[in-house]
Amino acid sequence: MTKIIIFRIAVFLIFLTLSFLLSTNYQDMVGFALVLSVGLIHGANDLLIIKKNSKSISNFSQFRTFFAYIGVVFVGLIFFYLIPSFALITFILVSIYHFGEQHLQAIPITRKLRSNYRVISIVSHGIILFTIIFMNNIELVNNVFLSFKINFLSSNTLNLILVTVTVVYMSTLVINKYLTSFIISEILFFVLFYFLSLSLTLILCFSVYFIFFHSILSIKDQVKYIYGSNDTISLKRYLLNSMPYFILALIFLILFYNFTEIDNSDLLPIIFTFLAAITFPHVIVIEKMYRSMK
């Protein structure tokens, strides 16, 4: 087995064990802590990636880029205020692609996939992921959706989506002659994730994927792209450079929590809105980074 498969199994076993040891409240606390630490840090160096991707950039251009980036964040917040249902659906669709892209990026064999197969694989992975999370937490998910003025999801609809997209995903992988072992590892991944989503709360389940199967892998790629190496010194530079933006994001979240009109008794809508607003520009930056790495 490859290192990444061993890593995935270890993470699943650890958190399946924790599901028996921690109450739901403590699980949510761990989940929020992961998202607001590693999760925020993994998107805190976007401006440095833009600078690297631009080769040479003046101080004025950096200043302009910063405000353009912040502008996209505020546009996202305005969308959530004016048309919350459209904004949340857009966030989910963007996240489906973003998570699928990072997952497939971790598999070197994806470089042998034709462009159309790669896109189908990326989107299919993301849809399967979110469908599993939704169907095993459907009551809580529907409560969150209602706060964004979206109608209830149906279990039957989610089951149909899961079966259909899984067939499409596996068929896409079978078409490529290099992917036999990859198919086995993907089946194992989703089976373990399915049981994890049954055992953990919605927040911690999402956080486990977001941190251990997305953010950490993304940080690894970002460090190598920015500094040319994944050594300890480069990682320390990455973390130090991320601190100002990380602190700014936390301050922004606190202010958003205090002044938002969303019901403050429920953190989920607030966290989703906040994550969505900072995700929109981040996805664009990471997509350009991976394109420049090819």
Counted domains in the chain: 1
pLDDT computed for residue 4 by the predictor: 78
CA distance 259 to 16: 37
pLDDT computed for residue 270 by the predictor: 73
Q: How far is CA 141 from the centre of its chain?
A: 17
**DSSP secondary structure code for residue 112 in this structure:** G
Q: At CA 228, angle to CA 225 and CA 233, rounded to 5? A: 110
pLDDT computed for residue 131 by the predictor: 95
pLDDT computed for residue 120 by the predictor: 85
3-state class of 142 per DSSP?
helix
pLDDT in tens, the chain (294 residues): 577 788 888 999 999 999 999 999 899 889 988 988 898 888 888 888 887 777 655 665 667 777 788 888 888 888 888 888 888 888 899 999 999 888 877 765 555 556 667 788 889 999 999 999 999 999 888 888 887 878 777 888 999 999 999 999 888 878 776 666 678 888 889 999 999 999 999 999 999 999 999 999 899 999 998 888 888 899 999 999 888 888 887 887 777 667 655 554 466 677 777 778 888 888 888 888 887 776
CA-CA distances (angstroms) from residue 137 to 5, 48, 155, 262, 272?
26, 37, 10, 21, 16
State which residues form the domain around 254: 3-293
The structure's pTM equals 0.87
Q: Are 19 and 121 in contact (CB under 8 A)?
A: no
CA distance 196 to 12: 7
**17 is written with which tokens?**
């064990």
pLDDT computed for residue 205 by the predictor: 93
Residue 134: burial class (beta carbons within 10 Å; 0-12, 13-18, 19+) = buried
pLDDT computed for residue 1 by the predictor: 52
At residue 202, φ and ψ (nearest 5 deg) are -55, -45
Structure-token match 């401006």, residue found: 47
